[in-house]
Structures are given as C-alpha cells and as structure tokens.
With several copies, the nearest count.
Chain A
C-alpha cells in the first residue's frame, strides 16, 4: 500500500540517503534501524509528506502522496520525536482536539483511550506537568485512537517504562492483525512476532 521509490535527500551539503526504495503492505511492519544521525527520522518525514525529497516518489494505494494529501493523511498517523502537545492543555483536551480533526469521537472515546494507555489519573493535569513517559503515552494514545491504517512511529519506546513498552508491542500486534501497516524506527528490538515483520538497515 505504501511504496517509495528511489528517494534521495540532501541536508545542507550532505547527502543523507539515496536510492532508497521500500514498500509496506497490509498487515506488515517495517522496522528501520541505523546509527544515530543516519537519516531515519528524515526518511520518515519524507514518507509522511512533510519533507520534499530531492528525487523519488512516495505513493499510497498507488496515488502520489503529494497529490492527494487529504486522503493520505486521513489514513496515516505519525508519532515523531516530539510529543506535539500544547503544554497548557491537559492530555484529555489535547487528544480531544487531535481526534476531532480526524473522526467523530465523543469525549468518552478519548477518556477510554487515555485509560488504556495508563493515563486515567493524569488525564486532566496540564501536559506541561506530565512526566516524560506520560507525554509519550499521550502521543501513543493519539495513534491508537486515530483509527489510521498506517502508523509511522519514530522511537515510540522512548521514556516508557517496561509496562509501557509491552503495551506498545501489544498494540502494534493488534494493529497488524487488523490489517494495519506499521513503519517503526527504534534502536531497541521490538516485541512483535510473525513473518510479516521485516527489518531494514540504514547506513
């Protein structure tokens, strides 16, 4: 479903990568690894449509992503290094807004997702006061609640405790079972089993 062909990207006068092609299909997880600064995050941003590559194309269901942004973005959810939270709003309010742009979901949906990621108690604290791991959990809740087909996760395990990491694994497993697609960047190995899991090493 998601396909990239022959991507090349420059940053300053450095070529980050060249000739990268990849494809992710239904119920597949692609785990991208590589040393710090090799360009994993930059690649994900190209795949999301945030960054324009020097050359190459990204297609979703056969249509160029740059051409059909709305369709693509309605089926994709990106969790980046940053948490993308309004510090003055609570987790509940933040998530409510993000979801509101994506699907009709009442407040009870938001509550229950927050509960699921273990934020029942901290849901109404302004997110500036949340701990690092709690903030990460909000990002993950956003992904979980989005009902997006494609998840693009940049180091989702960051700052999570053991239970949190297990939750992410479990959540990805479920997503794959529901015909979802996952693009995962993580330095640690993940805990998703199955033959639909592939790995890609960047230099």
Chain B
C-alpha cells in the first residue's frame, strides 16, 4: 500500500498512468452522456405532473451531485498533500477546483432555468439554493487564494488547509433541505423530489451521473498532467515525455 502510494506519488509515474487512463475515461464519458441524454430526452416517460419540463433533471441532478463529490475529492487530495507532503496531490487538488466550480455553476444555472417555470421565479432564497451558491463561493475562495500567493509551495499548503476547513460545509449543503425544513418553511424541493422515481426515469439519470463522473475523471487527469508538467518543467523526464510524443 505504502509503496504503491509513493510510487503513484512520483510525478513521472503518475504522468504515464494518467496519460494512459485519460482516453478511456474520455470515451466512456462520451458514450454514457450521449446515451443518457438520448434516453432522458426521448425514451423516458413524460412526467404526469410536470410534463417535459422535468427532463432538465438529467443535467441538473448529476451536476449538483458532482459539485459536492468533486469538493470532497479536492479536500481529500489536499489533505494527502498536506500530511505527506506529496506535491502531486496538491496538483490534483488544484486541478479539481475549476471543474468543481463549473459543475456548481451548471447546477445553479439548470436549477434556475427549472425554477422559472416551476416556481415562477429564477431565484429564491431557499436553503438548498443558497448553500449551493455558497459552495460556488467556496470554490472561488480556493482558487482566489491560490492565485493570490506567488510561491507555489505556500499556495499549495495554504489552499489545502482552506479546502479541508471547507469540508465542514459539505454535509451542511447536502442535508440543508432536511435541517432547514425542520426549522423553517416546508421546502419546495420535497414536493418535487417525489422520492420513488420511476425506474424508467431513474436508469437514465444514473447513466448521466456515471457519464459525468467519467468526464470529471478525464478532465481532472488532463489538468493534473498539465500541472505536473508545469511544475517539473526543468526536469529531464518532462523533456523526455514531451519528446516521446
């Protein structure tokens, strides 16, 4: 286990593995997403209540899930980097942030688009919406902190600490609906979340989710590869790796 971690932690090794894995994830993502979209838009039955409006769920829910999932990943990578001083982990964490922010933005955008017909307004100061917005701020904060520190070493450590502190907010965001409900106005979401979903609808949703995950994996590996190359720009293996192409 240890040697494995350390081996993976060595940039050239990581670079090689990542280079090999990326296309797999990429193609898998493409296949799953295309299939999911097709299924979601044409195959899945129309919702008896919302008619076709509900179909945006196939983008909304996966991106909302990913926004949280990526944050947890980022924090884990950051923690590994901080504790064992593995630069590669920092590189991965740094690579996660913009992707996570994009998915968060996507979740917000699709949610808003959905909200307009459903609730008659683009935006409501409801717990879940607000906490998702806060997640976007968390990502922005992480990226801004990195950008604000010139020294790479310090930027790594400082932003890692921030990512770890920020994890506290993830469960709050995830369970905000339940908590807030008990405290305050019955959430508009529970109505929509009609728990037991029709399996015909669910399968395409899961497919989209898997597709988004693969997409994330492909992008994060690509970004991390670039990051690793950049950081090791004056080392021999980088030159070899680039010439080998």
Contacts and interface: CB of A to CB of B under 8 A. Distances in A.
Indicate yes or no for A touching B, C-beta below 8 A: yes
Contacts of B151: 11-12
Interface string A111-155: 000000000000000100000000000000000000000000000
Contacts of B153: 10, 52, 54
B227 to A, nearest CB: 16
Interface in A2-35: 10-12
Interface in B178-211: none
A54 B231 CA distance: 14
Interface in B100-146: none
Nearest to A128: B150
A12 B150 CA distance: 7
What band does the interface of chain A fall in when counting residues whose beta carbon is under 8 Å from B?
under 10
Nearest to B154: A52
A165 to B, nearest CB: 31
A12 B149 CA distance: 11
A52 B158 CA distance: 14
Contacts of A12: 150-151
A16 to B, nearest CB: 12
A11 B153 CA distance: 9
Nearest to B233: A13
A46 to B, nearest CB: 13
Interface in B148-170: 150-151, 153
5 contacts: A12-B150, A12-B151, A52-B153, A54-B153, A126-B150
The 4 closest A-B pairs by CB, nearest first: A12-B150, A12-B151, A11-B151, A126-B150
Interface of A: 10-12, 52, 54, 126
